[in-house]
Amino acid sequence: QLSDQQKMSESPLSRFRGVYLPPALHPLNKTLVKGGKWKDVDSAQEKRRSFLHDFCKKYNSRKKLRTHLVHLVSRIYVEDRHKVLYCEVPKAGCSNWKRVLMVLNGLAASVHNISHDDVHYGKHLRKLDSYDLKGIYTRLNTYTKTIFVRDPMERLVSAFRDKFEHPNSYYHPVFGRAIIKKYRHNANEEALKTGSGVKFKEFIQYLLDSHRPVGMDIHWEQVSKLCYPCLINYDFIGKFETLEEDANYFLQLVGAPAELKFPKFKDRHSSDERTSAEVVRQYLKELSKEERQLTYDFYYLDYLMFNYTSP
């Protein structure tokens, strides 16, 4: 039995453990789509939706993904004007998606003059877990829910390049130092002090270690654990590989202003080569066959859910 004080201190949302939202496949409302040029994008969208729906039915998420409701929706951004819910998947266009949400919300006039820091540290956008229980359920049931995903290995390598191959005042001292200390034999003092220069193989050793010296991070966490696609019935599944056409079609679906287009620019390190299948191949060469297999196994659900081909 809880004391009155315990009851007071406990968030009402934290008691909703094991919530199951049936992934019913609702038809997309296409009444706001103008012109006939979206036929192919729409056809791809319907295939992705039914594929995920069928996968989740087979997977039987009731048993596998029991979690707090508040955790379930903690990565979902809310745009109330156009009734949009967007689940953030880092390294799959999320910075530009947040810019778009800020414009839709009336917080900025254009996507082109919003800085990276403003996007990620400005606290302009609300997340779904900041609403009360009724607010969360109402939005889950009535808003258009979208998720944008990316080939898991490409996303992983992109995250490594971004966080460890460029100066970074958070990832080097927090993750880099712990990784070098545990996985690099005979590490020199400079590396142990700064955490800079983590090798991809060391990063993978950390990722696959059940006793990681430092926790997981959203940039390489599985999409299945960031957005729970078998518990939340996403209406729209975009892919990084077809980012612009998917995003611009989605903006039509939700009735965004005609002049608002998804931005094409690369958010940071714009001179770097984009992380492609060929770039990924070069990084995977640094791993043993067993490490490559275990890394694939780590993202196995993401590969299955979103119908990506194994590398």
End-to-end CA distance of the chain: 52
Given the structure tokens 């890394």, which residue do they identify? 295
171 in a domain, yes or no? no
75 in a domain, yes or no? yes
Distances (CA, A) of 304 to 16, 18, 54, 152, 310: 28, 23, 11, 11, 9
Given the structure tokens 């696609």, which residue do they identify? 229
259 pLDDT exceeds 80? yes
* pLDDT (mean) for 175-183: 97
Query: Residue 269: its pLDDT value, please?
Result: 60
Full residue range of the structural domain in which residue 260 is found: 38-152+219-275+301-306
Comparing CA positions, the residue from 32, 14, 24 lying closest to residue 254 is 32
**Kind of pairing between the strands at 144-149 and 84-87:** parallel
59 in a domain, yes or no? yes
288 in a domain, yes or no? no
Comparing CA positions, the residue from 148, 133, 26 lying closest to residue 85 is 148
Q: What is the CA radius of gyration of the chain?
A: 20
Condensed to tens digits (0 to 9), the pLDDT of residues 122-165 reads 778 999 999 999 999 999 999 999 999 999 999 999 999 999 99
236 in a domain, yes or no? yes
9 pLDDT exceeds 90? no
74 pLDDT exceeds 70? yes
64 in a domain, yes or no? yes
- Please count the structural domains in the chain: 1
Condensed to tens digits (0 to 9), the pLDDT of residues 76-109 reads 999 999 999 999 999 999 999 999 999 999 888 8
207 in a domain, yes or no? no
177 in a domain, yes or no? no
**Kind of pairing between the strands at 76-79 and 84-87:** antiparallel
How far, in Å, CA of 88 to CA of 223, rounded? 9
Angle between helices 200-208 and 289-298 (to 10 degrees): 50
